[in-house]
A and B are shown apart, each in its own frame.
Chain A
């Protein structure tokens, strides 16, 4: 254990007890000699544990924790879009602009989000409350246009609804 100040131990990523238990359950899903299969679920968990994104330090921690060469972790973390390699706001607002959503007015939805949050896609509000992203098809096309905020889908959007949804977030 690190004996230095709590600041250091806070800055250094470390899985909580609860996460460690979840990891044991994750490992049980795969053959004992195929632990690398647990990498994606563990990265998802790490992202939740470490503030919604994965720093280089977090990736190194996961590599060390799983006994994998760091490159195995980096290449996975950089391949999949759901691993955030930069900090994101408390609410990660992801609006789909792919074909079905676009046909149903996603340009206006994206416009409303930009207006409301006063940021461009890729940006984060100064208070770190919102990050806005333009994303590819999220698989809710018959309820287009749609967006995802953190784990939840918001479907059949209208410009008015978007503002309301943002306002209602706790």
Chain B
């Protein structure tokens, strides 16, 4: 079942001509006929949850925009794809930019936003060029502008490139950055739905979420809601990387068994299923699942939550038995230290401590006490910071100690890796 990736294999799929030849921009017209309230209801009925990582129901988010408020409203698309392992939005941006634009026009119409911004990570230079070309095409055809498709609705759209900061993928960090400042997240509440960009009501959605909207309008929220499993409806793109025979972005219905995803879509684990050590199921900040759990787990928000990890951005990182978990976590800890914005002490200091201890553990200089110290630091970061970056830094450490504590102990006692 392809919804978001339905066009990406077509030749010149990024052009307006190909997009329209395949039914593009018909959902905008339908949405305008339905009216904004009904569009929000339809999105609520679909049950679609935010595809960026937090999994918040999109329709509900839209409904939080205050009515009868004199301030301008804004729509921001989060295309700051930066969670290690995640590269699903990139293929939408470069192969089907009009699908995103259509989703944004519909959302803008539904919440009364007349200006949208696509905040794209700065390194995606070529993707930003593609996106800008698509925006220009849409303006030229009257799809964007003061009178969208002649319907008297205003929607303007601009592409804004980031500068290489993971934390700007956090929605309020993104807003700060879009305002021309350091991307340091804001304390919530107030939430962006009330005080967002320029102090105005703002909706922020991930690329994949917005790109799912045209199909929801076209085929109905009930149809979409029937895909996947209860509480995790619809399709999701899983970016499968690491030790599989066919790494790639795969769009499948939520609730698919992880084993099916890996074996039937991603070509199987390198060296066979029995060579699997573990899977990081939802981007680098989600705690790792050991192989025995991988055999039975399904890929939906609920199941992964119950297993003590999360669906996150849907970045599935597959790790085989040749890998030292301590070394893998040390690499991730280095990443979070680099990306902490420095605003909150537990995160700024904690990510530094985690990285240092993981480094000495990996170098064979760790002690038994260090394992407890790691856990203690994680406990002192978790839930004690403005944004989720701190929790994200703790996730891989906690997950690895929970599932592979023997490798940490081995490192302490033997001064080297158990594997590899």
Which residues of A line the B interface, CB within 8 A? 29-31, 34-41, 43-44, 72, 75-76, 79-83, 97-100, 102-104, 136-144, 148, 151-153
Q: Which residues of A contact B323 (CB under 8 A)?
A: 103
Q: Is B161 on the interface with A (CB-CB < 8 A)?
A: yes
Chain B residue at minimum C-beta to C-beta distance from A156: B247
Within 8 A of A (CB), among B317-345: 317-319, 323, 328, 331-332, 335, 338-339, 341
Residue of A nearest to B74 (CB): A31
B180:A100 contact, CB within 8 angstroms? no
Nearest A residue to B198 by beta-carbon distance? A34
Whole-angstrom CA separation of A40 from B162 in the bound complex: 7
B236 contacts partner chain A, Cβ-Cβ < 8 Å = no
Interface string of B151-172 (1 = CB under 8 A from A): 0000000101111111000000
A sample of 25 cross-chain residue pairs with beta-carbon separation below 8 angstroms, ordered by A number, consists of A29-B158, A34-B179, A36-B180, A39-B180, A40-B160, A41-B160, A76-B180, A79-B183, A79-B341, A80-B164, A82-B163, A83-B163, A98-B331, A99-B84, A100-B85, A100-B241, A104-B247, A136-B84, A137-B166, A137-B335, A139-B124, A140-B90, A141-B85, A144-B247, A148-B123
The reply to whether the CB of B368 lies closer than 8 angstroms to some CB of chain A is no
- Which B189-208 residues sit within 8 Å CB-CB of chain A? 198
Report whether A99 and B180 are in contact in the complex, using a CB–CB cutoff of 8 Å: no
Contact of A80 among B84, B162, B280, B284 (CB under 8 A): B162
Cα separation A16 to B169 with both chains bound (whole Å): 33
Q: Which B residues touch A36, using CB under 8 A?
A: 179-181
- State whether the Cβ of B248 lies closer than 8 Å to any Cβ in chain A: yes
B81 an interface residue at 8 Å Cβ cutoff?
Answer: yes
Q: Tell me whether A141 and B315 are in contact in the complex, defined as CB-CB below 8 angstroms, given that A34-B179, A99-B84 are known contacts.
A: yes
Q: Are B85 and A40 touching (Cβ within 8 A)?
A: no
| Partner of B163 from A44, A103, A148, A153 at Cβ < 8 Å | A44
Contact A37 B180 (CB under 8 A): yes
Asked if B87 CB lies within 8 Å of chain A CBs, one says yes
Q: How far is the CA of A100 from the CA of B239 in the complex (A)?
A: 11
Cα distance A139–B161 in the bound complex, in angstroms: 15
What residue of chain A has the Cβ atom nearest to residue B248's Cβ? A142
User: Nearest Cβ distance between residue A16 and chain B, in whole angstroms?
Assistant: 20
Shortest distance in angstroms between B195's beta carbon and chain A's nearest beta carbon? 15
Q: Is B232's beta carbon under 8 Å from chain A?
A: no
**Cross-chain contact B331 with A97 (CB below 8 angstroms):** yes
Question: What chain A residues lie within 8 Å of B166 (beta carbons)?
Answer: 136-137
Report if B177 contacts A (CB, 8 A).
yes
Interface residues on B, range: 35 or more
A139 touches B126 (CB 8 A): no
CB distance from A91 to the nearest CB of B (A): 15
Whether A142 lies near B163 (C-beta < 8 A) is no
**Contact of A137 with B126 in the complex, beta carbons under 8 Å:** no
Besides the contacts A34-B179, A40-B161, A79-B182, what 14 more A-B pairs have beta carbons closer than 8 Å? A36-B181, A37-B179, A40-B163, A79-B341, A82-B163, A98-B84, A99-B242, A99-B284, A100-B85, A102-B331, A137-B166, A142-B248, A148-B123, A151-B125
CB neighbours (8 Å) of A153 from chain B are 126
B164 & A81 in contact (Cβ 8 Å cutoff): yes
Asked if B44 CB lies within 8 Å of chain A CBs, one says no
Question: Which residues of B are at the interface with A, using a C-beta cutoff of 8 A?
Answer: 72, 81-87, 90, 117, 121-126, 158, 160-166, 177-183, 198, 239-243, 247-249, 280, 284, 315, 317-319, 323, 328, 331-332, 335, 338-339, 341
Interface centre among A75, A100, A144, A152 (most CB of B within 10 A): A100
C-alpha gap A83/B183 in the complex (Å): 14
> Do B160 and A141 touch across chains, with their CB atoms under 8 A apart?
no
Q: Is the CB of A139 within 8 A of B198?
A: no
* CA–CA, A34 and B339, complex, Å: 27
* Complexed CA–CA distance, A39 and B179 (Å): 9
Tell me, in angstroms, the Cα distance from A148 to B124 when the chains sit together: 10
| In contact, B179 and A139 (Cβ under 8 angstroms) | no
Docked Cα-Cα span, A82 to B182, in Å, equals 13
Across the interface, A82 reaches (CB within 8 A) one of B160, B164, B178, namely B164
* A142/B331 contact (C-beta < 8 A), A36-B181, A81-B165, A136-B84 known: no
In the complex, chain A residues whose CB is within 8 Å of the CB of B318: 103
B160–A143 CB distance below 8 A: no
Q: What is the chain B residue whose CB lies nearest that of A28?
A: B158
Which residues from chain A contact B163 at a C-beta distance below 8 Å? 40, 43-44, 76, 79-83
Contact A40 B177 (CB under 8 A): yes
Q: Which residues of A have CB within 8 Å of B82?
A: 137, 139
Cβ–Cβ contact B241 & A142, under 8 A = yes
Contact of B126 with A82 in the complex, beta carbons under 8 Å: no
Given contacts A29-B158, A40-B177, A44-B122, contact A139 B335 (CB under 8 A): no
